[in-house]
Structure 1
Amino acid sequence: MRPSPSLSRRLGRSVVALTLFATVAFLIAPIVLTVVASFAASWTGVLPSGFVTFENWRAVLGLADTIGSQRSMGWSPLFRLPLGGETLTVLVPAELAFSIGLALGGVLINLVVGVPIAYAVARYEFPGREWVNAVSVLPLVPGVILGVAFLRAYPDLSATSFGLIVGYSLLKAPFMVMAVQSEFESMPLRQLEESARSLGASWPRTFLTVIVPNARSGIVSGAIICWALAAAEFNFSYIVWANGTQPLALFLQRHISNSSFTKAAAAVSMFFFIIVAVTLLLQRVGRRGFDIRGG
């Protein structure tokens, strides 16, 4: 006797739902465990113990009881304020601010360069189009390889903030190009352009006020991917950066290597929350839409 279609359908849905739940649980379990461990006093056995403490977060966020403890975590003075005969020193996460700026700089370069490349490849047929498409994804190589090549090609940019920004943009450009190109290919570009031009819009105005806003989903997705990967890029940062304020990836590596696991968990959890916050912010921009006014 063959099972009824409704029974097979319910069984299939249950299997799919169970598989999806197991996959999601497997993926997020390390993140949840890391966040939980950041509120533990120690982890010497199978599970962390000594809940609930905020000392790990106080240390990572620069709120430790002593300036020495704060500086040992790699934080720098923001300002000093005289207070009742004493000096209040406020320390800030220099690595955090530095890395956010570097990653945003890389994303801006990806937007300025990657969006036009994606548009040209999706919109036009021209000699060498396949070569352009292939070259745009060449940087999909390990960061250590690109780091060595970058140092040889641009030695003057080594150990500079601008060098890191350019390197991040090179490493993550393929993700921007692929995300935006996919969005452009799903759009009736020719019809949109002809409609805008028939209303008297110039090509730059058509591109900036019609084409780009309609591709915002792909642009926002590419920006999220590029920012998150650039902020966490370790291999390229390790090869290129020499001294001064460290990128966040090197900051995290130092804590993972030299601190207790619970403090390292707090540092990693901080990065998780930053990624979530930036992702939600960029998604909000995508939902609300954006427009770029051109002449």
Structure 2
Amino acid sequence: MSTRFDEGSLSARYGRQFVTLVLAVTLVFLALPVVMTFVSSFAGEWMGALPSDFVTLEHWNDVVVGTGVGADVSVGSSLAYSAGLALGGVVINLVVGVPIAYAIARYEFWGRDWVNVFAILPLAPGIILGIAFLRTYPDLSTSGIALVIGYSLLKAPYMVMAVQSSFQSMDLQQIEESARSLGASWPRTFLTVIVPNAKAGIVAGSIISWTLAAAEFNFSYIVYSRGTPPLSIFLFNNITNASFLNAAAAVSVFFLLIALVTISLQIVGNRGAVRRI
């Protein structure tokens, strides 16, 4: 009994501190490379253990203005192009993925388990899907349409899983019956009651899908042929053909973009009350 009491006292006394310490060490371990990369992008050189000769905007100028590697393309045009492509993929995922997630969570039907399996599993790795596009749609693959479709296919599982989780946390049948008893049609019930109640999952799925699509490299590398490069290709060119500090600036641009988009979508998702009938 004394041993159990001592063990319980130790757990009560140091358990929270231990969990806090593990969490802090994990966060520092994961965040340190990002912080060091961002900081080094403003350094004049990095010869020793730490970057030095602060503060210079030369590397950011090379990447943002387009005076460095691939000077004919600026990061702004590449960012805008990739943001549009990724957004197109998210729109397709919303139009297709949300109804699929709803059907799986709401109804029992033949083949439901198979639909669920195929909906939450990626169809193919990016490089395989890219080769398939080149072979099957050689003309389509030279346009941005192929990138949009490919991004939506590759990231659809993340949208379906996030939205499906939100739907499964609700009593969909009761919500539908309540809305219909008040005179709402099924489309109105779905669009103005069901979907707003799943807003958290939809926003989370959109953030994940957009972020991963904007950074998708394998599919982009296979399918992209000419014109403004997607952001992942632009970063690859700057990372492989430039100095490390220029590469750090290019990667930092992507970090900032992801942070801004994530914060913006979270603000949109948390704004206002959920509409109800």
TM-score range, shorter chain: over 0.9
Structure with the bigger RCO (C-alpha within 8 Å, sep 6+) is 2
Separation in 1, partners of 2:13, 2:137: 60
1:292 is displaced (CA, Å) by 8.9
Q: In structure 1, the residue corresponding to 2:120 is in which secondary structure?
A: coil
130-139 vs 175-184, which moves further:
130-139
Unaligned ranges ≥5, structure 2: none
Letter matched to residue 43 of structure 2:
A
Structure 2 counterparts to residues 1-295 of structure 1, below 5 A: 1-2=2-3, 3=6, 5-62=8-65, 69=67, 72-75=70-73, 93-139=76-122, 141-289=124-272
Identity %: 63
Larger helix share, 1 or 2: 2
> Are the structure 2 counterparts of residues 291 and 107 from structure 1 closer, same or farther at C-alpha, using a change threshold of 3 Å?
farther
Residue aligned with 2:139, SS: helix
Whether contact under 8 Å (1:105, 1:165) holds in the other structure is: yes
Letter paired with 1:226:
S
Q: Secondary structure at the match of 2:142?
A: coil
- Using a 3 Å threshold, how does the CA distance of structure 1 residues 178 and 155 change in structure 2: closer, same or farther? same
Q: Give the strand-richer structure, 1 or 2.
A: 1
Q: How many equivalent pairs are there?
A: 273
Deviation at 1:43, TM superposition (A): 1.8
- For 2:73, the aligned partner's letter is W
Q: CA deviation at 1:74?
A: 4.0
How far does residue 224 in structure 1 lie from its aligned partner after superposition? Answer: 0.2
Gaps of 5+ in 1: 77-91
CA RMSD of aligned residues (A): 1.9
Q: Structure 1 residues 266 and 181, CA, compared in 2 at 3 Å: closer, same or farther?
A: same
The 2-side partners of 1:106 and 1:153 are apart by 20
Q: Given the two structures, how large is their TM-score scaled by the length of structure 2? A: 0.93
Deviations 1:228-254 (A, max 9, x none): 000000000000111111000000000
Shift of 1:106: 0.5
Displacement of 1:135 in angstroms is 1.7
CA distance in 2, matches of 1:240, 1:148: 8
Matched-pair contact (CA < 8 Å) for 1:208–1:292: no
Q: Offset at 1:46?
A: 2.3
How far is 1:199 from its partner?
A: 0.3
- Decide whether aligned partners of structure 1 residues 199 and 181 sit closer, same or farther in structure 2, where only a CA change above 3 A counts: same
Choose 237-246 or 284-293, whichever is displaced more. Answer: 284-293
Q: Which amino acid aligns with 1:120?
A: A
* Runs of 4+ residues deviating >6 angstroms: 290-293
Deviation at 1:104, TM superposition (A): 0.5
